[in-house]
Structure 1
Amino acid sequence: MRTYDVAPLFRSSVGFDRLPDLLSQAERSEATAAWPPYNIEKVAEDEYRITMAVAGFTSDEIELTQHDTALLVSGQKGQESERQYPHRGIAARTFRQTFDLAEHVKVTGASLENGLLTVDLKREVPEALKPRRIAIGGRQAAIGQDNAPAQVEHRAKAA
């Protein structure tokens, strides 16, 4: 079975319009998307790290681009000298890997060390979009009056 019925997911969810697109995109992914090999690690609650094995590439030959919710990592080897290789086990082919990021995930840093490209990511949800508690008021609150309970004055009887 190669089709998915996502209709039940939409019965109790709002705003997940990209979900069917992500499922169909994952279905179409090519086997070549596995090169270069990579890990995705959850470092903390809202922090992630992508580590890619890019042996033989320099930082000048790798390009990182984030556009909206997509992170593109591409690499292209520069001109090689006239070397002869009886056996070439270290791949030097061009690569292009795209990662779909959740909303508000930003790249916070990248480094290349010992043939491993490390890309640090962090989810930074704006304060206006964070969950907030909403007070439930009566008719007065709906009209726009103060939510404080009314105080009744108490006067002592004159003796």
Structure 2
Amino acid sequence: MRNFDLSPLYRSAIGFDRLVNLLESGQTQSNGGYPPYNVELVNENQYRIAIAVAGFAEHELDITAHDNLLTVKGAHGDEPTERNYLYQGIAERNFERKFQLAEHIQIKGANLENGLLYIDLERVVPETLKPRRIEIK
């Protein structure tokens, strides 16, 4: 029997309670793991994504959310820079990173600090979906 490593699925899905939702989405990422990122569980209903965007200014980053899909794009300006590298280990290429979000996940804000882009998320479950106690009379 084959063993399947499902850890890549957990890295890009935030707020899912069931793996079935992610498998049904069929969302794939083919960006080769650039830029690196972390997904942090702050508390039961709050998450934080940290993306390493060294070399990008705020105006070169674009964050959009549409239909439970969070997209982060980084694009440098079209100004060519002539540099003579002896060694280039810092990637400066444009990127697009997508995250599939579960229902009821809301983006609370984003900030750029020390080369890391932080995106704060929160799960907000409507009152109608929360369990409620029924009194017996």
* Length-normalised TM-score, structure 2: 0.76
Alignment of 1:55-74 (within 5 A): 55-74=54-73
Q: Which has the higher contact order (CA 8 A, sep 6+)?
A: 2
What residue number does 1:121 align with?
121
CA separation in 2, counterparts of 1:65 and 1:31? 18
Bigger fraction of residues in strand: 2
Greater Rg over alpha carbons, structure: 1
Once the two structures are TM-superposed, the CA of residue 73 in structure 1 deviates from its matched residue by 0.6
Once the two structures are TM-superposed, the CA of residue 90 in structure 1 deviates from its matched residue by 1.9
Alignment of 1:91-110 (within 5 A): 91-110=91-110
What residue number does 1:139 align with?
none
CA separation in 1, counterparts of 2:58 and 2:49? 16
Unaligned runs of 5+ in 1: 4-15, 137-146, 148-159
2:24 to 3, 7, 21: 21
Bigger fraction of residues in helix: 1
CA separation in 2, counterparts of 1:31 and 1:76? 14
What residue number does 1:30 align with?
30
- How well do the aligned residues superpose, as a CA RMSD in angstroms? 2.5
Distance 1:45 1:18, change over 3 A: closer
What residue number does 2:15 align with?
none
Once the two structures are TM-superposed, the CA of residue 31 in structure 1 deviates from its matched residue by 6.0
Once the two structures are TM-superposed, the CA of residue 129 in structure 1 deviates from its matched residue by 1.7
- 2:31/2:97 contact within 8 Å kept: no
Aligned length: 122
- 2:31/2:96 contact within 8 Å kept: no
CA separation in 2, counterparts of 1:134 and 1:68? 34
Unaligned runs of 5+ in 2: 5-18
Distance 1:21 1:126, change over 3 A: same
What residue number does 1:6 align with?
none
Pair 1:47-2:46 in alignment: yes
Once the two structures are TM-superposed, the CA of residue 83 in structure 1 deviates from its matched residue by 2.7
Distance 1:85 1:106, change over 3 A: farther
